[in-house]
Amino acid sequence: MRAVGYVRVSSEEQVQGLSLDAQRREIARYCEQHGHELLEFYADEGVSAYTDQIAKRPAFSALLEAAQRREFDVVVVHTLDRWARRSSVQATTLERLGHAGVGFASVTEQMDYTTPAGRLLLATMGGVAEFFSAQLGVHVRKAKREGFEQGRFAGGVPFGYRSEGGVALVVPEEAEAVREAFVRRDRGDRLAAIAADLNAQGLHTRRGNAFTPWAIKDLLTCRFYLGTVSYQGEERDGAHEAIVERGLFEAVQQRRVERKAGRRQGWVTNSLLTGRVACARCGRAIWSDRTAAGTPLYREQHGQACGTLGRSFTAAIVDAQVAALVGALRLDDGLLQEAAEAAQGRTSIDATSVDAIDGELKRLARAYGDGAYTEAEYDGRRDAILARRRRLVAAAGGGDIGEAAALIRDLPRLWREASIEQRREILGCLFEAVEVDMERRRIESIVAVAAFDALLREAAVIVAAEEMRLSMGGGDGGGLTPSLTQRSSRRWRLEWPGAA
């Protein structure tokens, strides 16, 4: 049988030293003993199985959806409480497996869910697991309350401190950086400038990432620096040393409130590539931002090291290149027709499978927003899901090429008459991402959507088969006429005339 393993530890269990690796080893041994082919593991780290909201457990949700598609025959867990502690969640999810024709096995309980006895044992064990989970929650809350009453912190300590034997100790160099950040913000310095200076000093967040404006924003609202601890909305003096004076802290909070009140509501950037622009060097998203005067910018800010991290420039520079590229896509009707005909017969994309993967991405984003993953973990999981999506689309050969050809034929008129929002929609029909060299301020490559990529590949074969190169003419890009060279699956490199 084709088997998958599901492993999970909650935050409390991680503190107690429980290991995902240990669960994986036991599941692998079980599959080997029973002759199952172990395909992969689904892992939820730092996520409680007690919650009724399955969407808060992204790997669990992804496993159930894969079961619906019959991608495996049996799910194996180390113990039943790794799967779910609430009997209601157990019953619902195991029923979903049953309807999909997927079996379930627990290594420790040696359960066989295919027999009446197995179902009875499952219900009994589920009730016991739910009871002990509830009891564990009571004890954890009691321990946290007692720690709060004694001024101790719960969880990790923020940048500026280190934990030693359950005590938060000040790290002098980091504490000085924290104080300086508050002073600079009080006098009006931008979050991005403060983050850039901390990065230049070789400092990192407590998770080991580079500082971003959002990390500085969190730092500046952390009340732990006042020497206090909080629990369920209550605050009291902590056992640790304060880093920031209360007057300075409150002044920074007041500045934040005033800036928020004065900010225009519903403001969006007027840049073309909002949500679609990425760094050509590291592949991570570039943010659409603005100057104090409202001029749109593209700014590279994320938690991972990159040679161009923190750089920004006026969005109009690259947006003009986008206009040139769109203008250059005026392929002649004969070539479009020939390319569309050559692409006939390609396998269409399974929309259901693509939607399922897109659902995984949304759930992953929600889990990241809830704090289930660090930024590095989120990036890794997101990249893996996107890689699966790309493989699916590449295998299908990509979408409705006829519609893509029709769009290209009518593109000059559509682009000329479109508003900024409509132009963004047009770009969404052509490009999944536009990768920019932040140092040269130039588009380096595009990642085409499936249908447009298929059209380009067929046209490139017709024009110059051995080079997979496509030169395009026309357009209103100020004399710039780029050419495209296929770099990898759906990624095309732009070459601009006269570019070094």
Tell me whether residue 405 is in a domain.
Answer: yes
Same domain? 139 vs 186: no
Which amino acid does the sequence have at 202?
G
Q: What pLDDT, on a 0 to 100 scale, did the predictor assign at position 128?
A: 62
Same domain? 408 vs 483: yes
Instruction: Report residue 125 as tokens.
Output: 């064990």
Tokens 């991290």 correspond to 309
Q: What pLDDT, on a 0 to 100 scale, did the predictor assign at position 180?
A: 95
Same domain? 141 vs 182: no
Query: How long a stretch of residues is the chain?
Result: 500
Tell me whether residue 285 is in a domain.
Answer: no
Tell me whether residue 417 is in a domain.
Answer: yes
Same domain? 308 vs 433: yes
CATH number of the CATH domain containing 16: 3.40.50.1390
How many independent structural domains does the chain possess? Answer: 3
Q: What pLDDT, on a 0 to 100 scale, did the predictor assign at position 120?
A: 60
Report the helix count and the strand count for the chain, using DSSP H and E.
18, 17
DSSP per position, 445-495: EEEE-HHHHHHHHHHHHHHHTTTTEEE-----STT---EEEEEETTEEEEE
Last residue of a domain, one of 241, 262, 283: 262
Q: What pLDDT, on a 0 to 100 scale, did the predictor assign at position 193?
A: 87
Q: What pLDDT, on a 0 to 100 scale, did the predictor assign at position 244?
A: 94
Q: What pLDDT, on a 0 to 100 scale, did the predictor assign at position 77?
A: 92
Last residue of a domain, one of 205, 238, 262: 262
Low-confidence ranges of the chain (pLDDT < 70): 11-18, 47-55, 87-88, 111-137, 139-140, 155, 259-269, 303, 328-355, 367-376, 387, 389-406, 455, 457-482, 487-489, 497-500
Tell me whether residue 445 is in a domain.
Answer: yes
Q: What pLDDT, on a 0 to 100 scale, did the predictor assign at position 234?
A: 84
Q: What pLDDT, on a 0 to 100 scale, did the predictor assign at position 478?
A: 42
Same domain? 436 vs 309: yes
Same domain? 16 vs 71: yes
Cα torsion 204, 209, 212, 214: sign = negative
Neighbour tally for 304: CB within 10 Å: 15
Same domain? 26 vs 133: yes
Same domain? 14 vs 135: yes
Residue pair 199/210 in contact (Cβ under 8 Å)? The answer is yes
Last residue of a domain, one of 147, 177, 200: 147
Short-list 160, 185, 197, CA closest to 253: 185
Q: What pLDDT, on a 0 to 100 scale, did the predictor assign at position 436?
A: 92
Tell me whether residue 166 is in a domain.
Answer: yes
Q: What pLDDT, on a 0 to 100 scale, did the predictor assign at position 184?
A: 94
Q: What pLDDT, on a 0 to 100 scale, did the predictor assign at position 470?
A: 43
Boundaries of domain holding 454: 296-349+397-495
Same domain? 316 vs 444: yes
Q: What pLDDT, on a 0 to 100 scale, did the predictor assign at position 397?
A: 45
Same domain? 401 vs 480: yes
CATH number of the CATH domain containing 226: 3.90.1750.20
Residue pair 58/9 in contact (Cβ under 8 Å)? The answer is no
Q: What pLDDT, on a 0 to 100 scale, did the predictor assign at position 42?
A: 93
Q: What pLDDT, on a 0 to 100 scale, did the predictor assign at position 1?
A: 83
Q: Which DSSP state fits 104?
A: E
Same domain? 170 vs 241: yes
Give long-range contacts, CB 8 A cutoff, 24+ apart: 96-103.
96/64, 96/67, 96/68, 97/64, 97/67, 100/67, 100/68, 100/70, 101/70, 101/73, 102/67, 102/70, 102/72, 102/73, 102/74, 102/75, 103/1, 103/73, 103/74, 103/75
Tell me whether residue 277 is in a domain.
Answer: no
Q: Whole-angstrom distance between the N-terminal and C-terminal Cα of the chain? A: 56
Tell me whether residue 326 is in a domain.
Answer: yes
Tell me whether residue 252 is in a domain.
Answer: yes
Q: What pLDDT, on a 0 to 100 scale, did the predictor assign at position 373?
A: 65
Q: What is the pTM of this model?
A: 0.45
Same domain? 78 vs 7: yes
pLDDT (tens digit per residue) in 320-377: 888 878 776 655 566 556 655 555 544 455 556 666 777 787 777 776 666 666 666 7
